[in-house]
Homo-oligomer: A and B are copies of this chain.
Amino acid sequence: MDLNALRNANPDHWSKASAIRALTLDAVAAANSGHSGMPMGMADVATVLFEKHLKFDAANPLWPDRDRFILSAGHGSMLLYSLLHLTGYEQFPIEELKNFRQLGARTAGHPENFLADAIETTTGPLGQGIANSVGFAMAEEMLRAQYGKKVVDHFTYVIAGDGCLMEGVSQEAITLAGRHQLAKLIVMWDNNNITIDGPVSLSDNTDQVSRFEAAGWHVIEIDGHNPGEIDAALTEAKKSDKPSMIACKTHIALGHAAQDTSKGHGALTDADQLIAAKEAYGWAAGPFEVPAEVKSAWEEIGQRGAAERRDWEERFDAMSKSKRETFNRTLALEAPKKLSATIKAFKKQMSETAPKLATRASSEKVLEVLNPILPETVGGSADLTGSNNTRTGDLGVFDVDNRAGRYVYWGIREHGMAAAMNGMALHGGIRPYGGTFMCFTDYARPAMRLAALMEVPTVFVMTHDSIGLGEDGPTHQPVEHLAISRATPNTWVFRPADTIETAEAWELALTSRKTPSVLSLTRQGVPTVRHEHKNNNLTEKGAYVLAEATGKRQVILIATGSEVSVALAAREQLQAEGIGTRVVSMPCMELFAAQDEAYRKRVLPSGAVRVGVEAGVRQGWDQWLLGERGKYGKADFVGMDRFGASAPAEELFEKFDITAENVAATAKALL
């Protein structure tokens, strides 16, 4: 590359882009780790985007109608941090860049949404950003339909690399975006021909242009170092009625000795090469220094949107009070006042009618009363709508001609669905929930972890939650999936026993602000186990005494979900033999663990043997069976220690010995 020619052609642009490159080199050198090449390669694209297109106001990073900028290629985090510093975001003074990748800094190795207002999403696990962005763009469409274009009218811009595009989830994302004609989604592909292992051609020769076109996208190919082409492409993309992909031909680590090599992908820390690169840019400022005129040019860009934001506020204030309230309430993740009373009334009715229902059907019943009072819920399923019971009548179907629709047919795309739901939640104004089979948490897993890490209250409706699904067999029967979800920090795993606990779980999931929920629901019918109505949400404490021992308490049975009724039946047998048996329902281990010790001791006192019952692996149970820090208790577990099998459900519970008889016998063996 002839850098001089580039500089001379657009000197003002060049100095702004050089600031990104220089800061990247400085920060990576200071940290002695990080990824230099991507920010250096995409500096031109990002500069034009921020200077001429992105609607933002650095003084108000949370302005609801800002354009969203998503760095899907999250390892290039210094691109984002440089931009946030240069444009004057308060949370990104130069000290943050100096502390790149250090403990406590906002400038983590990969962008973490919870560390700064202006970081829209957490990226790094490749493909997540582009898949999030589909949810961002869907949320924008939905809210625009709800509030009107005067209040909601913004673009979602994404920078994605070859890694993002090779990950399978990107295919799920781009086909979703194509299907739904998400015209306000614009992806800039950093087409630099380099991955960590070498040239892209080592592992891939996909014609990305044709691939995106096959998915219904508008594609534009440009020189990613030519500001005029970048500007024209963005202008064209914004006018398209399809999602747009701008293929930006770039040189990774532009101007550095490692340019166009896989070495350039990583940390460029060699001091001499760093100096040489800066010289090639014509950049004379010292480390972490930006010449005043360059900084002020960037700060002007950061203020460019201020007037537009003020105009927006006027338009916002002109909306009806009720619309403003709903807008603000949903953005703040506040539950509507009616929610609590609605749940109570529902529970009361269910305690009286005591239906025998699969908890997936209970979940649908709950949604039928909640969706009408929560305009912010958006439901969906990965092609299992009838099985996951996720659609209620009033939602309407989200589609090109019905942007107000609140139900999404996600197709057979569990991972894309989960990541897009996270995007909706991150966008704000939407509470997404989506379903698949519990076993296919495997497919959604990378995005489910990110929901937990990002602290967004996405709700995963996971039905068919055990061998109780029957004939579909071991490929579809979760065994380890409760343990997997429970192992994940900041995740509430609800396994409700009946309609009432299902309602309580939904109440908690839909009032959560920072924790995603997994609702583990049965395919098969289960009886109502809570006959006495309680106004309190008992699930909120994670576990509670469902049935007290008659006579001296010798046994405590702890169970979840469909096995609570098994435990109750075992209790009958034990009590019939004069063995006092308490049954504890434990719909949420995480919430129980969060209770004070006094409550936990009241529910699980010592002095009785304990048997856990759950049609899953024991892992995760010993803390409740054997006690914490070595508190004594004889205990055992009835559950699964292998994969399931294909057969009718009742036969499987027999085969794997998850029966009242075996629970009772296991308890007696401990006495």
Stretch at the interface among A230-238, A330-338, A348-356, A436-444: A436-444
Tell whether A341 is near chain B: CB-to-CB under 8 Å: no
Chain B residues lying within 8 Å of A101, measured Cβ to Cβ, are 471, 473, 646-648
Contact status B386-A196, CB under 8 Å: yes
A213 within 8 A of B: yes
A449: chain B residues at CB < 8 Å are 442, 480
Q: Does A470 lie within 8 Å of B211, measured CB to CB? A: no
Given known pairs A197-B381, A483-B483, A489-B641, the reply for A205 and B211 (CB within 8 Å) is no
Give the docked Cα–Cα distance between A108 and B652 (Å): 13
In the complex, chain A residues 615-663 whose Cβ is within 8 Å of any chain B Cβ: 617-620, 622-623, 625-627, 629-630, 632-636, 641-643, 645-648, 651-652, 655
Q: Which residue of B lies closest to A480 (CB)?
A: B487
Rounded to whole angstroms, the CA-CA distance of A170 and B169 in the bound complex is: 10
Q: Is the CB of A652 within 8 A of B103?
A: yes
B411 touches A166 (CB 8 A): yes
Chain B proximity mask over A576-618: 1 for CB below 8 Å, otherwise 0: 0000000000000000000000000000000001000000011
The answer to whether B172 touches A167 (Cβ under 8 A) is yes
- Say if the beta carbon of A214 comes within 8 Å of chain B: yes
Contact of A109 among B34, B167, B472, B483 (CB under 8 A): B472
Task: Decide if B103 touches A647 in the complex (CB within 8 Å).
Answer: yes
Within the complex, which residue of B195, B474, B642 is in contact with A411, where a contact is CB–CB below 8 Å? B195
Instruction: Count copies of this chain in the complex.
Output: 2
Contact status B415-A168, CB under 8 Å: yes
Closest 9 CB pairs of A and B: A168-B168, A203-B411, A622-B622, A171-B171, A108-B646, A103-B647, A630-B634, A210-B214, A124-B475
30 A-B residue pairs with CB within 8 Å: A33-B471, A34-B471, A101-B473, A101-B646, A102-B648, A103-B647, A105-B646, A108-B473, A112-B474, A124-B472, A124-B475, A124-B476, A125-B439, A163-B383, A166-B412, A167-B172, A171-B171, A197-B383, A197-B384, A197-B409, A198-B409, A208-B214, A211-B214, A211-B215, A442-B446, A449-B480, A452-B643, A484-B487, A626-B626, A630-B670
Beyond contacts A449-B480, A629-B635: 4 other A-B pairs, Cβ-Cβ < 8 A, are A102-B647, A168-B169, A203-B413, A626-B626
Interface residues of A (CB under 8 A from B): 31, 33-34, 74, 101-105, 108-110, 112, 122-127, 162-163, 166-172, 175-176, 178-179, 195-198, 202-211, 213-216, 381, 383-387, 409-413, 415-416, 439-440, 442-443, 445-446, 449-450, 452-453, 470-476, 479-480, 483-484, 486-490, 609, 617-620, 622-623, 625-627, 629-630, 632-636, 641-643, 645-648, 651-652, 655, 670
